[in-house]
Amino acid sequence: MKHDNFKIPDPWGRAQYYKSIWLETEDGGSGSWVYVCRNQLAYIFIVIDDLPEACGRDATSLFGAQVSVVDLATIAPETIASALRCCGYEEELDFKSEKDRFLIADMCRSFGAYAPMWNEDGGKVTEENRYGSYDEKHPAFRKLRSDARKFAEENLFHDEARNELLDTKVVNAVGQTAREYMNGTEGLWEALHRIKDQGDKATPERQLVLRMYMNAGQTLGAGPVPEDIVGEKA
């Protein structure tokens, strides 16, 4: 398989490549390993977390892995602006710059404005190994990273397949697609509009979520619910 369309910036001048095309941007020092590549304006991330470090005694696995996409060609400008504000980034960014585009995509990922495409846990936690020190040499880590890369390369390295998944993969109880989830508040309104249009055909769980937003009229951090959603009670 050729990867000529896949490129990744080296913002820090010290690229560490995982195999041939994945750039390692976090090496586990903070409890996370992050690998990234891009096609066109879609940035594909593999994130592996040390779960005992992140979750303490609630962790049931040693590692958790996720494959996600930040598509700068379709993500809402308002979502990008929110991500930059949340990350405290105030410098001017040049969208024509590969380095700056990567920084935007990575801040969106950190903010939670990404499309979740695949996730899996690995390595059973026991009282004996809960407080051990584990890294990328652990068999469970290596398997998760291999499985994540295989999923990404088989499903996300071609525009048509990736876009179909972004628009059809349902990622939560509200019924949001992966692309809607990536778009934050705007994507939430799209899902609520769809539930409202479905009426009685929507699942009871989704009708309940719609009624909650309609009756509240206000979100905790995303401002008021649009009037065309609140207008008529479900």
- Least Cα distance to 36 among 47, 28, 44 occurs for 44
Domain match, 118 and 222 both: no
Among all chains, which residue has been given the structure tokens 């995982």?
A: 18
Q: Tens digit of pLDDT for each residue in 76-135?
A: 888 999 899 888 888 888 888 888 899 999 999 999 999 999 999 999 888 777 777 778
Residue 178 belongs to some domain of the structure: no
Q: Tens digit of pLDDT for each residue in 164-195?
A: 999 999 998 888 999 999 988 888 888 888 88
Distance separating the N- and C-terminal Cα atoms of the chain: 50
Domain match, 111 and 36 both: yes
Residue 174 belongs to some domain of the structure: no
3-class state of residue 140 by DSSP: helix
Domain carrying residue 216: 183-230
Task: Count how many Cα atoms sit within 13 Å of the Cα of residue 111 in the half-sphere of its side chain.
Answer: 26
The tokens describing 223, both together, are: 């401002």
Average pLDDT rounded to a whole number, residues 14-38: 79
The 10 Å Cβ neighbour count of residue 111 is 18
Domain match, 141 and 207 both: no
Residue 44 belongs to some domain of the structure: yes
Burial of 226 (0-12, 13-18, 19+ CB in 10 A): middle
- Stated pTM of the model: 0.85
Residue 49 belongs to some domain of the structure: yes
